[in-house]
Chains A and B, each alone.
Chain A
Amino acid sequence: MKRIGVFICWCGSNIAGTLEIDKMVAAAKTMSGVVYVDQNKYTCSEIGQAMIRDAIKEYSLNRVVIAACSPRMHENTFRKTVVSAGLNPYYLEIANIREQCSWVHKDREAGTAKAISLIRTAVAKAAMNEALFAVEMPIIRRALVIGGGIAGIQAALDIADTGFEVDLVEREPSIGGRMAQLDKTFPTLDCSACILTPKMVDVAQHEKIKLYTYAEVEKVEGYLGNFTVTIRQKARSVDLQKCTGCGECLAKCPSKVASEFEEGLVQRRAIYTPFPQAVPNKPAIDRAHCRYFTSGKCKVCQKVCPAEAIDYAMEDLLLTNGYGAIVVATGFDIHKLNDYGEYAYGKHPDVLTSLEFERLLNASGPTGGKILRPSDGKAPETVAFIQCVGSRDKAKGNPYCAKVCCMYTAKHAILLSEKVPGSKAYVFYIDVRTAGKDYEEFYNRAYEECNAGYIKGNVSKVFPDGDKLLVRSVDVLSGALLELRVDMVVLAASVDARADAKELAKKLAITVNEHKFFTEAHPKLRPVDTQTAGIFLAGMCQGPKDIPETVAQASAAAVKVAAIFSKQSLLSNPIVAEIDQRLCSGDMSCMTVCPFNAISEQVVEERRGRETVSRKIAKVNAALCQGCGSCTVACRPGAINLKGFTDQQILAEVDAICL
């Protein structure tokens, strides 16, 4: 016997001011299964909740309908209320008579009629509500961080400092990422390496952190609290246990190839450590360029290695580990400038990207920190910086702002004036954006103290003029056409999402936006969560941001992970799909529509008369199922139902709402 209690809330005058409560009470009393109806000025108040608790006990209510505000507001509050009176939380149903009735309908009579209809619908559904139970699922209290740049490093350190185990996977032979390539950081001009390398060493030495360099995530399965991840440890060809990092091999290797770390400005060897402060500071063999691997002869590194650490027979290893949560911190790519032929990038050696210029500034860079023209090795007296190359360009670049270029260009202008006395920087900009603590002051310093000339205008063309470069532009503010002869041109190339971001998103079952940046669960209120529970984002992989923002986001992601790990187990969402074995035909249509791979095949044995036959049917993994109910519609025999939103419940609602 269903004994339904209906509680109608006034919400002060929010509901009672527009709808006729007494009419609703009278109507509710006539509804099927309703044994008790009451009203309250504020049902969500302590008194209102006590009234529900008392009525449940006094009238032996076993289903509760509350006509009040949206369930998105107080469903959890009232679930707790009915639980405290000894009922299953899913025995509660809410009729939304505030947001979807009293607030939007001015006609008292029509509004009241609709409210009654909504209450009747909720009563009809409540009568069909079944008890649902959350299942406890154990949590693997170990985190995976993908990407070893500053975001991944910070997230790994913060998680490890809370006492939980972390595995950090980095694709390159060393952690450090983009920040390791930078010379100074704005707006303080801190040396990037000086603040980053101690953190890199901390990662390597932290007892809770396990570092996988030269490794990539191959496959991800599972769900919050219980992910199973396959990591491909690429064959480094150097035994990290034996290698002492002496560097003998690096000097002797005969194959040379453009250095990724130096942005191609110099060459590295085929056996290489990406940069001097690498962690681990031990080389890897780039097999695509190694003479031994490409031609079968050489083995010079093996001959010179005093530790016998070179192992050409080493193979990729697939490691499978369990994790409870994942932080994605895969960083960004520099925008390719193929579509910007007018700036002569790639055609003239003295046209550089900002990251290449950054390497020229760096003491460990190709010029030892001297700003020299790649063409003739002379210090440039005038340098043109062109902003927004590929940013804010709907026609052929990215429509978004790359966020960091205005600031690092101000930094470049300041550093240029320090390193080449008497030099002059010209900055061509669309707008100068300096939102951030001490950022505007830093930009002011570039043009007030360091003599940088800021020109508002798009550069139309850069071309060689003798041993100089001619920059043709317009000064928008004066309207004058401008031609400048400069010694060097630096292009603030935009930032892109990683070229393979989509593939990783697919592996993780997370989403990307139209520019392939990973999407957060909510742009304002859940900026580090993804739509997939247990997977978090940090740094540029989610969208352009500078180092402080990246670090803040990484720490935030770490707290989210720690919050999950603070418990031994998780409670599952009981609103999941359920299969009636007897009806399932095994045609698996449900499996093809499930967005979460929560449905799999299983073979069951059944008695048919005297025989035992085995047949294939579908199985729902309740931990993976998010409860969308898409499968229920795909199922032809009608074997799948969604708990809490069953066909029967919804049809009962339809019947009641149409009355």
Chain B
Amino acid sequence: MPVTNEGFEPVIVAFCCNWCSYAGADLAGINRMSYSSNVRIIRVPCSSRVNPSFIIRAFQRGADGVLVTGCHPGDCHYHSGNFFTRRRLSVLKQLMEYLGIEPQRFQVRWISGSEGAKFAMVMNSVAEEIRRLGPNRKLRDVR
């Protein structure tokens, strides 16, 4: 009998940069724009602080999806930090695909501090995609 994903609630880790996306998440809160509670946020100063190893670690520890969000390219609080994010993580994304991880499980999105609605929308759509994919089985540690 095939495995079903019924009743599955994913764990999604979102690394949010302090200046744009984390502020965008706060704005979603201030405007009471509800979104999926599967998303849990880790605050980092800049999306370029996110080491690919953090993302892999999250998958190993059982995250079903990982999201890195930053300021829009060109609007980085640190001028050019998110340009590095974009390059580094597109390399990681290709590697993940090569490993057979569905591309939707790991996403990089640009959300500004004024885009509360976009934050909520992105979180919902990502949560929905990952719910459909089912649990991350490939990278999860056996515990």
Contact = CB atoms under 8 A, between A and B. Distances in A.
Interface of A: 70-72, 96, 98-101, 103-107, 110-111, 113-114, 117-118, 121, 509, 511, 531, 575, 593, 595-596, 626-630, 632-634, 642, 645, 647, 650-651, 653-655, 657-659
Given A72-B22, A99-B25, A654 B57 contact: yes
Contact of B30 (A103, A626, A627, A642): A103
Contacts of A657: 11, 13, 40, 42, 58, 63
Contacts of A105: 34-35, 37
Given A118-B40, A630-B78, A99 B51 contact: no
Nearest to A656: B61
B48 A651 contact: no
Contacts of B22: 70, 72
Q: DSSP majority for the B interface?
A: mixed
Nearest to A658: B61
A99 B63 CA distance: 22
B54 interface: yes
B62 A658 contact: yes
Contact of A630 (B25, B48, B61, B120): B48
A285 B45 CA distance: 52
Contacts of B43: 71, 96
B80 interface: yes
Contact of A98 (B13, B29, B76, B84): B29
B26 interface: yes
A111 B37 contact: yes
25 contacts: A70-B26, A72-B18, A96-B26, A99-B25, A100-B29, A103-B29, A104-B29, A105-B37, A107-B37, A114-B40, A118-B40, A121-B40, A121-B42, A511-B79, A575-B45, A595-B78, A627-B45, A628-B45, A630-B81, A650-B42, A650-B51, A654-B63, A657-B40, A657-B58, A657-B63
A450 to B, nearest CB: 44
A627 B44 CA distance: 10
The 3 A-B residue pairs whose C-beta atoms are closest, nearest first, are A99-B29, A629-B49, A658-B61
Contacts of A659: 61-62
Nearest to B58: A654
A575 B51 CA distance: 17
A104 B34 contact: yes
Interface string B51-66: 1111001100111000
Contacts of B77: 531, 628
Given A100-B26, A657-B58, A658-B58, 10 more contacts: A104-B33, A104-B34, A595-B76, A630-B46, A630-B81, A632-B51, A634-B84, A645-B44, A654-B13, A657-B63
A626 B48 CA distance: 13
A428 B65 CA distance: 59
Contact of A628 (B28, B40, B49, B63): B49
B41 interface: yes
Nearest to A651: B57
A206 to B, nearest CB: 35
A16 to B, nearest CB: 16
A98 B42 CA distance: 15
A655 B79 contact: no
Contact of A114 (B33, B37, B52, B80): B37
Contact of A650 (B23, B35, B44): B44
A642 B49 contact: yes
Contact of B79 (A595, A634, A651, A658): A595
A100 B44 contact: no
A100 B29 CA distance: 6
Interface in B48-100: 48-54, 57-58, 61-63, 76-81, 84, 88
Given A104-B120, A595-B81, A657-B40, A642 B26 contact: no
B42 A654 contact: yes
A654 B45 contact: no
A122 to B, nearest CB: 10
B132 interface: no
Given A114-B40, A595-B79, A628 B46 contact: yes
B78 A100 contact: no
B54 A654 contact: yes
Contact of B46 (A98, A511, A629, A653): A629
A647 B37 contact: no
Of listed B34, B48, B50, B120, residue having the most chain A CB within 10 A: B48
B120 to A, nearest CB: 7
Contact of A642 (B23, B28, B45): B45
A8 B4 CA distance: 38
B80 to A, nearest CB: 5
Contacts of A511: 79
Nearest to B56: A654
A633 B40 contact: no
B32 interface: yes
Contacts of B46: 628-630
B26 A99 contact: yes
B42 A653 contact: yes
Given A103-B29, A121-B40, A629-B46, A658 B63 contact: yes
A268 to B, nearest CB: 41
Contacts of A106: 34
A367 B43 CA distance: 65
A651 B54 CA distance: 6
Contacts of A107: 37
Contact of B80 (A103, A121, A595, A653): A595
A117 B37 CA distance: 11
Contact of B57 (A99, A100, A595, A655): A655
A647 B54 CA distance: 8
A100 to B, nearest CB: 5
Contacts of A595: 76, 78-81
Contacts of B88: 633
A5 to B, nearest CB: 21
B140 to A, nearest CB: 9
Contacts of A103: 29-30, 32
Given A633-B84, A645-B49, A104 B40 contact: no
